[in-house]
Amino acid sequence: MDFELITLKNGIRIAHKRTSSPVAYCSLMINTGSRDELEHEHGLAHFIEHVIFKGTKKRKAFHIMSRLEDVGGELNAYTSKEETVIHATFLKEDLARAMELLADILFHSTFPEKELKREKEVIIDEINSYHDSPAELIFDDFEELIYPNHPFGRNILGSKKNLKKFNRHHILDFTSRTYNTDQIIFCSLGNVPMSRVVKMAEKYMGSVTNSPRQYKRQPIGNYVPQYLTIKKSTYQSHCIIGTSAYSLHNHKRIPMHLLNNILGGPGMNSRLNLALRERHGLAYNVESTYTPYSDTGVFTIYFGTDKADTQKAIDLVKHELNLLRHKKMGVMQLSKAKRQLIGQLAIGAESGENLMLSTAKSILVYEKPDNLQSLFEMIENITASEIMDVANEVLDSSRLSTLIYR
């Protein structure tokens, strides 16, 4: 059975897929992330994701934590550049319990000042931990490098200085401006009929005041390649080579996903892993990542290597990029690459949590649930010429930015 979709009178959309599993999942996804912050709000979206669990009009923090854990369930959340998500896993008979809890957290949190102060210390530890991990920190610094003076380029965690200033007033201002009902998706999977899900949604979310979005996100400016080396007290050099790429609304995003998978995807047989690790022993970890957003995309290649080998590793990376730009893939090569990506996507969709979250995202972006079979057909129809065209548009050396920690 496919996902069924309805919209409540207040604009909140409800998506549900009935499954046969005894385990069920649900989430509330808000089309609001760190890029929706004003300059003085940097880090606020992530802060709210933490403190939204710290008390509602009828629950203290302990009762929120215990509500699903008492029946073996799990409750979690995350913040990205463009979304804030609360999600839960539980047994199917506890769907009403989970939906009511998520609705209570999102729409009735009180953000008590005592809890805000305590959670600030937790996030400061999180920021410190992040700064101790150059392999993670470099991705944030790279986006700041290529999107300067734009909220998209700011890291999600924020700064300690800003964090210390936040209070309940800042939170309520931000949520009233950005947590708009027409930008909220409730998505669930479980062995429960859609009619029951709709009835529960009306009960727990139907009375929320309709609040359509009144603002537009700040557009991304023109991308200008950058090059920067930062001295760090690390044993290795850490390097990112990357550029801006296609958005979620560009049809070339599908060939770009395939190209990325060929170049540096999760498989040990990716071209970059074979070149840097298997053939030359220069890197323990090398990967490429393509992340499309609503109006831009980011493509990165990351590796860590001995400081003396940095330039050699960069040259090998650029050699692989040039091969994709100038040498058309053979029929068998391309067929294997397609099959690998389709297999990865199919296996990923077997995770109920992955399927739920990707479906909610699809509804936010495209106004409809994912259709895996259609996606597989689009991948099968990609030609070697399309791969080469995308490689020449995105991977041209004149478009690449580089950030090195050494």
**Which sequence spans correspond to the domains of the chain?**
4-205, 227-405
Q: How far apart are CA 155 and CA 299, in angstroms?
A: 17
Q: What is the pLDDT of residue 384?
A: 98
Q: Is the dihedral of CA 230, 233, 236, 240 positive or negative?
A: negative
The pLDDT value recorded for residue 233 is 87
* Separation CA 135–CA 53 (nearest Å): 29
Alpha-carbon gap, residue 110 to 227, rounded angstroms: 45
- Residue 37 has φ and ψ, to the nearest 5°, of -80, 145
> What pLDDT is stored for residue 300 in this prediction?
98
227-405 is classed in which CATH architecture?
Answer: 2-Layer Sandwich (3.30)
The CA–CA distances, whole Å, from 161 to 41, 44, 51, 124, 131 equal: 11, 12, 18, 10, 15
| Equal fold, 4-205 vs 227-405 | yes
pLDDT value of position 370: 85
The confidence score (pLDDT) of residue 302 equals: 98
Instruction: Compute CA 374 distance to the chain's CA centroid, rounded to the nearest angstrom.
Output: 22
pLDDT digits (tens, 9 = 90+) for 185-210: 999 999 999 999 999 999 999 999 99
DSSP string, 91-141: EGGGHHHHHHHHHHHHHHB---HHHHHHHHHHHHHHHHHHHT-HHHHHHHH
- The candidate with the shortest Cα–Cα distance to 381, out of 247, 213, 254, is 254
Per residue in 139-188, pLDDT tens? 999 999 999 989 999 999 999 999 999 999 999 999 999 999 999 999 99
Task: Provide the pLDDT for residue 60.
Answer: 95
Which residues in the chain show pLDDT less than 70?
Answer: 1
Q: Which CATH superfamily includes the segment(s) 4-205?
A: Metalloenzyme, LuxS/M16 peptidase-like (3.30.830.10)
Rounded-to-integer distance, Cα 140 and Cα 118, Å: 26
**Left (φ > 0), alpha (ψ -120 to 50) or beta: where does 166 sit?**
beta
* CA dist., res. 88 & res. 68, Å (int): 8
